[in-house]
Structure 1
Amino acid sequence: MNASELHNDAVVIDGLVIAKWDRELFVDMRQGGITAANCTVSVWEGFQSTANNIVAMNQLIAENSDLVTKVRTTEDIRRAKREGRTGILFGFQNAHAFEDQLGYVQLFKELGVGVVQMAYNTQNLVGTGCYERDGGLSGFGHEVVAEMNRVGMMCDLSHVGAQTSKEVILASKKPVCYSHCLPTGLKDHPRNKSDEELKFIADRGGFVGVTMFTPFLKKGIHATIDDYVEAIAYIFNLVGEDQIGIGTDFTQGHGQDFFEWLTHDKGYARELTQFGKIINPEGIRTLGEFPNLTAALLRHGFTEKQVRKIMGENWMNILAEVWGE
């Protein structure tokens, strides 16, 4: 089977997309043969604004039902594959939308939210992000993890501090993930994870999605798809072939104002970091170029079976374990 046939046949899951949601993007997702994606509907927003985002996203999905379909279960992902549509899974990059109400966890699960990052870069009521002194998982945070386990919602630790991450991994009775990260072994950056952290999550049944966000890649904006595959191979060699996948962190369609909002605490307070120029690796600048990744993995010596796992099967397995369906 050649690269193109393999890509078309495989289940392809992107574990993190935070793009500008519109029909143009959905067309590009179909162009890229993406079976399903974890799509961010909350970062700094509280309960009300997040609910509004979900209303808007539901409407957008309804208006573009020829291209996309809402995903709550792994069977929904398989159905999307059969129907030639892209499954849209709702995800949060911050537990901020839960506010101080444990009951909101189940409420958002019922609205279709399947993955929630415990903190985004800074402190919230649950724990600490990766840009602050890490106070660990709070008492309320322990309750949130237990409730997420109960309702079948995955804990994501990509932007979470090392100590809080460790405590979530130990507290959770279900597998947790870094949905989109890179290794410090290739570039030292507060958002990247050490070999020890990557092994720690994998040894406890967790999952690692590898991002291609160029500020965290070794060659930065000069990175190519081959540099991205190098990072995948690096993590693959640490965690093995069953607990690794893709989480691109595509920000397609957004302007500078969006990045200003992302990089300031709560969206408006102190500046946490500066990304500089944002451009994806050459060879996979848009979601429509996703087939190039399957080809690049094969070119770098991954077997067809390993490519299927990395491109989506591993995500399917871990989501089925967490969601229970």
Structure 2
Amino acid sequence: MPAPYTPSAPTGKGTDDYRCFLLDPGLTEDAFLTGIDVLPGNPDVVHHVILFQVPPGQVAEAKRIDAGSEGQGWTCFGGSGVGAVGDSIDRAPWIGAWAPGGGGTVHQKGYGVPLAAGTQVVMQVHYNLLAGTEPDTSAARLRLAPGSQDLKPLETVLLPAPVELPCRPGKTGPLCGRAAAMADVKARFGERAGALGDLLHVLCGAEPVGPVQTCTRKANAPMTIRAAAGHMHLLGRAISVQVNGRKVLDIPVWNFDDQKSRPVPPVEVKAGDDLTVTCRHDQSLRDRLPAFDGQPERYVVWGEGTTDEMCLGILLVTRP
């Protein structure tokens, strides 16, 4: 980041700020990204960081968004805001991510994420305002190899599932109804990001309500899974990813402070195969975690905030 950024709730409500910063790595030739190292400047408030590639054809769009926003960077709940919304699932523009417990990562030998000459990077930083509003200057280091090397190109596939966690029996409050909870999410994150709680039901079909959430999607093209990771928030208990019932990722005890990607033995996936992510959450953790002190009991849906929830499988794949 070119200068320190002081986070704040952009809508005036909530305890989270998602800010995107356009960074130019100065790629004058094609390259492969073979590793990243995200350096959170203020770890107390940085909840997670995602790096998105901005191909040369989208750089002008990213610069327009940046120039049209007050201050450094722009608000970016739900994604970077660059490119079409549909680009963010089966061929996500992610080139790397950091969450608590993460460190520098290097891809397996012989693999890399292709970056065309002129590509820039959007660094999305999620700030958790429950931990303060002190300035932050985060950074990302990219490990690059020449584009002329014979490396297999890596892509990211995202597997989200809806989250529907009713208030616990005997607990009441103004946010214990689903409609009120959805309205609150939209007020904090905007209509586009706030509507994901409903849109994921369109993607996944079923509407599971309760502690176990799942989504099965058909692979739209053949691929080989090389690494996998999961993402949930503080109410998470367990997460798994399966291909046709075979577990590729299995984290039976979720640790929010250990969200690193895990290399897996190659898993061949054919077009039409079932890709399933399953999460288990626990509302009783509200009584045990300091982040929920003073937070009202609520019906929890998919949301961008630290005290909201997500269920997300992340696959690093190669294509034939």
- TM category, shorter: under 0.3
Higher strand share: 2
When normalised by structure 2's length, the TM-score is 0.25
Higher helix share: 1
When normalised by structure 1's length, the TM-score is 0.25
Q: Of the two structures, which has the highest relative contact order with CA contacts closer than 8 Å and spacing of 6 or more?
A: 2
Which structure would you say has the larger Rg?
A: 2
